[in-house]
Every structure is written in structure tokens, then in C-alpha cells.
Amino acid sequence: MYSYIPAKDMARARQFYEGKLGFKPKEEVAGGVVYAFGRSTAGFLYPTPNAGTSQASQAFWSVDDVDREIAALKARGVVFEDYAMPGERSAAGAITAGGAKAAWFKDSEGNIMALIQTL
């Protein structure tokens, strides 16, 4: 999977993705930056005035332990969303329903991102 991540302000977005999420840039292309993720997946952060306009999740990362990732990202200043959804909520704030545990946050550009743990 190769996701496209829109950014209104590339410097601000890079600070979020590299500083708060800890991603390392793989290469810069056409004014944007590519980040390589696990299992041969990647994302392209690119400049556009349309960033943050979608009310749906832009991308999610499959992780082994959502609660552990929530704690690590909160320590770096990432703020998680609190959506009213059916399911059991963990102490860290993740929702468990339908065979998965999930948590959502917005990036610096207003894009909705998620962490998902398959149960």
C-alpha cells in the first residue's frame, strides 16, 4: 500500500511526521517526501491546499499493540480523537469492536489517521 498524505504546510507537516511520529524520509520527490513503512508499504507527503478537508480516515497503520503506541505517541505530543463509537474502550482510549482495536488522531494538517490492531 502506498498512501498519499496531503499537506497545506510542508515544513509543519514534516515536523509532525518526522518529529512526533518518528518517520525517516526515504527521498524527496516533486516538492513532497516519501516515508517507507513496514512490510514494504510507504506514504507520500505532498503539498496541496486541500489537506484536512476529508472527514474520513486518510490512512491507518497496522500495529501489534495499539495501547502501547498510543502511550508512546502521546509522550511525543500527539493528541488522539475521542469519537463516540460502539465498543469497549481501553484505558489508553482505543476502541475494540469487530475483531480490531483502533485509535484515531489528526496530523498537523487536519488529516485523520488511525492505528489498528487486529485481535
Residue-wise pLDDT for 94-104, tens only, equals 999 999 999 99
User: In the prediction, which pLDDT does 26 show?
Assistant: 97
Q: Which is nearest to 95 in space by CA: 114, 75, 73?
A: 114
User: In the prediction, which pLDDT does 1 show?
Assistant: 75
User: In the prediction, which pLDDT does 2 show?
Assistant: 87
> Which residue reads 515544513 in cell numbers?
11
- Beta-bridged to residue 32, according to DSSP, are 29
H or E segment and range at residue 86? none
pLDDT tens digits in sequence order for the chain, 119 residues long: 789 999 999 999 999 999 999 999 999 999 999 999 888 899 999 999 999 999 999 999 999 999 999 999 999 999 999 998 889 999 999 999 999 999 999 999 999 999 999 99
User: In the prediction, which pLDDT does 16 show?
Assistant: 98
User: In the prediction, which pLDDT does 39 show?
Assistant: 80
> Which residue reads 510542508 in cell numbers?
10
pTM of the model: 0.89
